[in-house]
Each structure stands twice: as structure tokens, then as C-alpha cells.
Amino acid sequence: MSKVAWIGVGLMGSCMAPRVMAAGHEMTVCDTVREHCDDIVSKGAKFVATPAEAAAEAQYIFSIIPNSNVLRAIVKGENGLVNTLAPGKVFIDMSTVDMEASAEVAEAIAATGAEYVRITVSGSVGSAREGKLVIMASGKKEVYEEVTPILDLLGDRKYYLGQKEEARAMKLIVNMLLASTINAWTESLVLGEALGVDWDTMLEVLADSSAANLMMKQKKAPMQKRDFSPMFTGNNMAKDLGMVNDMLRKNHLTLPVAAITAQMYSAMETHGAGELDYGAVLLVNEALNNIHHEK
């Protein structure tokens, strides 16, 4: 078994890192919020305070962190990975970040002689907990194949996309489609509300219709209860759609639905609902149409 470090024990990391440790790998964890690590430390992991310490402890260093600036900081900052990365070590970042930041840290990692694999994932907290994420990978293929046994603990479907930043692009493509789809779904729900269709029945029919998809089926039950407990927050979706819009500008592309959907998630943040599940974009569509529910 290998020595593994995990940087970022948040909503997703707290589900993923324990699966790796449970398989017998020696685990070191690092997070800016010490309390995030308490549970896994109580089960045998070692806590360290900085990414540099994490890289010194392990052969394989995983991270899943909030954004591009944090990625730069954990790699190139004062106590960043580059201080202790060395040949034979592999850094595997699983965050949703922009392609430019990823390429920038790739240069810094290459200078240490270590390897770098970009892994992005699709799936909810539940998928992470069960090891059923969809894994999208890019980087040197032989290094990706080296870390595949650990990735098998996290996801049951894996796709290798190329040598550089292709996995970053693919994740944003997936989330663009997911956000647009759920926004369209909630618009349909608002129409049904306005026309007096029974809420529970409407959700049942949509999830069983020719328009149904996996997202509708998974979110049907919580949506029936109007339960917006976060599996993936609106704030995170807004961040990802901001990166999508940046890519559109840089590549001189016009995708109107993506642009409008990004505005909907910005409105969700503005109205203080960003920490709710991304399905709570329903609340924005309801507010636009003067539909209100008691809290």
C-alpha cells in the first residue's frame, strides 16, 4: 500500500479520503479548517498544517480545493507543494479550476521532477461516498495508469482525455450542461405551479417522461420536500459558470443559454441562496414570477 496525502477535506474530500484510507493506504490530511479533519484523524489519519508537509509525507498527493487561486497557493505558495515535491512523487488535483491556472502549476511541478495528473469528477456527495464518481483524467498516460488503482476506489467510470488540460475543459462542459438542464427543469416546475398542477405529481411525471434524465430522478424526492441541503452548492456552480463564460470570451464563442444560466446562478448568490444546493435555482425562477412559499 502507498503513502497518500489529501489536501482539502471539505464536502467532497471528506467522502473521498476515507475511502482511500479504508483500502489500507497510509493517510495524511491537510485542511485550513482543522475541524474538517477531526473525523478521519480519529480513524487513523495524520494531520499536517501545510501542503509542503503533506507532500513530504507521501508519494501520492491528492487535492480537492475551492478554486484556481487556492490551487496556485497550495502549489506555489510560501508553504506550497513545490517546496517538498521531488522525482517519484505524483500530485493529483481533483478540483474544478480554470485551464490557465492548471497549466501554470504544471510548469511549477515539472520543475521539481514530480508528476502531475489532472482529475476532475462528476457526481454528488452521495456518489463520492459510494465510490461511484465519473472520473475524467488528463496528464501523462503512464502516470494516470500508475494512480488508477487509487482512482478505482473513488469512481466506477473513468475517461482518459489527453496529455494536458483536457480534463479541466471536460468538467466545465459537463457542469455547463448540468446547470442549463436544471435551470430549464425548474422553469418547467414554475410553469406547473402557475397553472395549478399538483407539485408531487408533476415531479413524478417529469421524472418518468421522455424528457427525464438522471439528475431529475436523483433530485425528485428532495425537490418534492423542497429540501435544498447542498450536494453541490449554488456558489460552486456560479464559480464554474464564470469559468465557462471566460472560455467563451477567450475562444470567441456565443452560447446564449450558458450565458443566461450563469446570470441565474449569479442571482442565486445575490439573493443569499448560494450555500444551498444548486437545484435551489428554483427559488430564483419562482421569485421572478412572484411565486412564494412559507419557509
Is 241 contained in some domain?
Answer: yes
pLDDT at res. 32: 93
Looking at the structure, tell me whether residues 281 and 251 fall in a common domain.
yes
Could you give the CA distance from residue 151 to residue 93 in angstroms, rounded to a whole number? 12
CATH number of domain containing 185: 1.10.1040.10
Residue 50 and residue 79 in contact, taking contact as beta carbons nearer than 8 Å: yes
Is 294 contained in some domain?
Answer: no
pLDDT at res. 177: 97
DSSP codes, 172-223: HHHHHHHHHHHHHHHHHHHHHHHTT--HHHHHHHHHTSTT--HHHHHHHHHH
Residue where a domain stops, chosen among 118, 140, 164: 164
pLDDT at res. 124: 85
Is 156 contained in some domain?
Answer: yes
Looking at the structure, tell me whether residues 154 and 44 fall in a common domain.
yes
Looking at the structure, tell me whether residues 151 and 174 fall in a common domain.
no
Could you give the CA distance from residue 10 to residue 106 in angstroms, rounded to a whole number? 24
Residue 52 and residue 77 in contact, taking contact as beta carbons nearer than 8 Å: no
Residue where a domain stops, chosen among 110, 135, 164: 164
Catalytic residues: 171
Is 295 contained in some domain?
Answer: no
Looking at the structure, tell me whether residues 119 and 215 fall in a common domain.
no
Looking at the structure, tell me whether residues 136 and 32 fall in a common domain.
yes
- 120 backbone dihedrals φ, ψ, rounded to 5°: -115, 155
Looking at the structure, tell me whether residues 23 and 154 fall in a common domain.
yes
Looking at the structure, tell me whether residues 114 and 89 fall in a common domain.
yes
Looking at the structure, tell me whether residues 101 and 240 fall in a common domain.
no
DSSP β-ladder status, 133-139 and 3-7: unpaired
pLDDT at res. 295: 63
Is 198 contained in some domain?
Answer: yes
Record the cell numbers describing residue 27, joined without a space: 493517510
Looking at the structure, tell me whether residues 98 and 74 fall in a common domain.
yes
Radius of gyration of the chain (CA): 20
Looking at the structure, tell me whether residues 159 and 179 fall in a common domain.
no
Structural domain boundaries, residue 12 = 3-164
* 196 class by beta-carbon count within 10 Å (0-12 exposed, 13-18 middle, 19+ buried): exposed
Looking at the structure, tell me whether residues 93 and 222 fall in a common domain.
no
DSSP state of 39: H
Residue where a domain stops, chosen among 164, 181, 210: 164
Looking at the structure, tell me whether residues 19 and 92 fall in a common domain.
yes
Could you give the CA distance from residue 41 to residue 71 in angstroms, rounded to a whole number? 23
**How many distinct structural domains can be found in the chain?**
2
Taking only the tens of pLDDT, the chain with its 295 residues reads 899 999 999 989 999 999 999 999 999 999 999 999 999 999 999 999 999 999 998 999 999 999 999 999 999 999 999 999 999 999 999 999 999 999 999 999 999 999 999 999 998 888 999 999 999 999 999 999 999 999 999 999 999 999 999 999 999 999 999 999 999 999 999 999 999 999 999 999 999 999 999 999 999 999 999 999 998 999 999 999 999 999 999 999 999 999 999 999 999 999 999 999 999 999 999 999 999 887 6
Residue 163 and residue 138 in contact, taking contact as beta carbons nearer than 8 Å: yes
Residue 88 and residue 60 in contact, taking contact as beta carbons nearer than 8 Å: no
pLDDT at res. 273: 96
CATH number of domain containing 124: 3.40.50.720
Locus of grid cell 472560455: 247
pLDDT at res. 145: 98
Burial 17-51, CB ≥16 within 10 A → b, else e: bbbbbebebbbbbbbeeeebbeebbeeebbbbebb
